[in-house]
């Protein structure tokens, strides 16, 4: 049961309508032709797997920023935050995390603070792995003031097959590190804009775990990390 609880249970409630649809279609497929039914059953199990929402152990020391999503770190580059957040034109350090269809898609708040602004921007559905997806794809962006007064931003970006971004954060809301706040269906990317003086503690190619992997430590002078593929 412990293994099951970390892989398939619990299920995020946003997934139940889809799981129900897949299950009904599977029953119909079995009634039409058994091989179709087995295909439907496999797709239903995949849908359950996609919407899994396993518990995470969130490091809570002051100053720690955790990854807001499961996935692979694809870029760490200077970039201007989304204009709808009103954070100016000066580049910040952007960490991009790409989520494939097999990753957990529940998103978590990277660090405690107060939501300054939450904004939705309609757009295209290009591959979320592309650099320009940050600018042209559909997105939901959040501007957050940390407890030390500095600000960050984190942005849910739709991908090729994603057609719905869910976010629950509101302007003025106080949030804690690692709290669930949204979900993207299906396949997507999450960008995090760090303060200009931050040193990232992840590297390109690294697999991040939402709510657990530390992206930055604002209470430490540790330099940015490098990596060696082995």
Gap between the Cα atoms of 69 and 52, Å rounded: 13
Exposed e or buried b for every residue in 62-79, given b needs 16+ CB within 10 A? eebbbbbbbbbbbbbeeb
- Give the phi and the psi of residue 42 in degrees, each rounded to 5: -60, -45
CB distance 155 to 139 below 8 Å = yes
Peptide bond just before 186 cis, omega within 30 deg: yes
- Give the phi and the psi of residue 107 in degrees, each rounded to 5: -100, 150
Cite the active site residues. 188
Q: Which two tokens stand for residue 57?
A: 């152990």
Closest CA to 67 of 216, 211, 226: 211
Structure letter (DSSP) for residue 158: E
């Amino acid at each position: 049961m412990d293994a099951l609880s970390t892989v398939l249970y619990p299920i995020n409630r946003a997934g139940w309508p889809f799981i129900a649809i897949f299950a009904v279609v599977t029953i119909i497929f079995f009634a039409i032709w058994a091989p179709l039914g087995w295909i439907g059953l496999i797709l239903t199990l995949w849908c359950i797997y996609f919407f899994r929402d396993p518990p995470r152990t969130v490091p809570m020391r002051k100053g720690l920023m955790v990854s807001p999503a499961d996935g692979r770190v694809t870029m760490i580059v200077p970039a201007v935050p989304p204009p709808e957040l009103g954070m100016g034109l000066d580049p910040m350090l952007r960490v991009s995390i790409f989520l494939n269809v097999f990753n957990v898609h529940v998103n978590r708040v990277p660090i405690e603070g107060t939501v300054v602004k939450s904004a939705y921007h309609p757009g295209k559905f290009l591959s979320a792995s592309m650099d320009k997806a940050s600018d042209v794809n559909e997105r939901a962006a959040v501007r957050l003031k940390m407890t030390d007064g500095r600000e960050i931003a984190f942005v849910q970006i739709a991908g090729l097959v994603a057609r719905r971004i869910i976010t629950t954060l509101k302007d003025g809301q106080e949030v804690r590190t690692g709290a669930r706040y949204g979900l993207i269906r299906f396949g997507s990317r999450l960008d995090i804009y760090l303060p200009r003086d931050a040193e990232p503690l992840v590297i390109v190619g690294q697999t991040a775990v939402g709510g657990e992997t530390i992206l930055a430590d604002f209470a430490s002078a540790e330099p940015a990390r490098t990596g060696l593929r082995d």
